[in-house]
Amino acid sequence: MPLAIVAPIQSSRSRLRICAAFTGLATSAVLLLSGCADAGPSADAGSDHSLVVEHNLDGLNAREIIKRLDSTKVTDRSSEFIASIEPDQLVLTDDQNNQTTVPMPEDEFYVSIAPYRSQTHECYFHSLTTCTGELANTDVHVTVVEATSGETLLDETLTTYDNGFVGVWLPRGIDATLTVSAEGRTAKKAISTRPDDPTCLTGLQLA
């Protein structure tokens, strides 16, 4: 199993990430301050492994970390640990502002989707530990069709995680049409998987 490539955050290149977490009848904003880091072929002596070790993620790559956190029940997710998915890296942050990044796969782009009936929240980079959607543990049919070729990249019935999101891996650098159906209702949205595109899609209202 490949080891996670962990690199320290470069504070001089810090940026602001915003993800609002859906809670009951209201929404609350979670502000994440994280940055970019260059990832080498392996973790160097100056890398901080404390976050991945403390949260039992040591030795896992980004895909494996995402799968584990996606599958964790909301009640078991730490409020002191943020895992924010960006197009090129997974940013891990704790309540002491310690940060570590793990590179995302070079040829794949992860999109987290939260279809909804009546309530949603603003989100750009998905937080695996704090973002929640309206339809938890719900079967949804997801179709992704590449815009240029018309090729169907995904056509499956999936079940949203306990946080109301369902995640899909797509090729990088494409334009596509995303269609989500659930409970006899459908939502459709044009999406892209380029370096500045969102990893969190919360604007799909089922109608």
For residues 104-109, average pLDDT? 97
pLDDT in tens, 129-160: 999 999 999 999 999 999 999 999 999 999 99
Residue type, 92: L
Overall domain count for the chain: 2
The CATH code of the domain that includes 168 is 2.60.40.3700
> Lowest-confidence range among 11-20, 67-76, 93-102?
11-20
Q: List, for residues 28-47, the tens digit of each pLDDT value.
A: 333 332 222 233 223 332 24
Cβ contact 202:122 at 8 Å: yes
> How confident is the model over 20-24, as a mean pLDDT?
36
3-state secondary structure (DSSP) of residue 54:
helix
Tell me which residue range forms the domain holding 12: 7-103
Of 103, 138, 156, which residue sits at a domain end? 103
The verdict on 128 and 65 lying in the same domain is no
Q: How far apart are CA 27 and CA 20, in angstroms?
A: 6
Mean pLDDT in residue range 103-124: 97
Tell me how many degrees the CA angle 142-145-146 measures, rounded to the nearest 5.
Answer: 140
Name 171's Cβ contacts closer than 8 Å, sequence gap at least 6. 107, 108, 109, 153, 193
Amino acid identity of residue 159, one-letter, is T
Please tell me the predicted confidence (pLDDT) of residue 207: 96
Residue 199's φ and ψ, nearest 5 degrees, are -105, 0
pLDDT at residue number 48: 57
Top-confidence range, 9-18, 20-29, 92-101, 107-116 = 107-116
Same domain for 189 and 136: yes
What torsion do the CA atoms of 174, 180, 186, 188 make, to the nearest 10 degrees?
Answer: -10
In a domain, 1, yes or no: no
Domain finish residue from 69, 103, 137: 103
Give percent of the chain above pLDDT 90.
68
Judgement on whether residues 121 and 99 belong to the same structural domain of the protein: no
**2 falls within a domain:** no
Q: What pairs with residue 131 in β-bridges?
A: none
